[in-house]
Amino acid sequence: MGNDLREGKVTLPLIRTLRLASDADRQQIKTLLSQPELDAMAVGAVTALIHRYDGVDYSRRKARDFAKRGQKALKELPRSTARDSLLALADFIVMRQM
């Protein structure tokens, strides 16, 4: 997450946090992220806010939901190595995030 913040990437955990955060917390995030280079303290402060507003867990739940939906669609296809590989890949990606 820290690398994404340093690179200026807007990810689902951050989007969720900005949507739910108080005005003061939202302004703090915007101020911290507007710095030319984020130091460890700024990354830590934003990360703490993301955790406070359930950004990480929410994103994991969404990833699991999307993976399950994709797997359900894949199971409609005839069995094949490609289909089975995609089913396994969905599980791997979601488990890797935890």
According to the model, what pLDDT value does residue 97 have?
58
pLDDT exceeds 90 at position 68 = yes
CA distance 10 to 8: 6
Domain boundaries along the sequence of the chain: 2-53, 58-96
Asked if residues 6 and 38 have their Cβ atoms less than 8 Å apart, the reply is yes
82 half-sphere exposure, CB direction, 13 A CA radius: 2
Percent of the chain with pLDDT over 70: 97
More confident residue, 97 or 82: 82
What pTM does this model have?
0.81
pLDDT exceeds 70 at position 54 = yes
The set of residues, in sequence order, having a beta carbon less than 8 Å from that of 38 and lying 6+ positions away, is: 5, 6, 32, 46
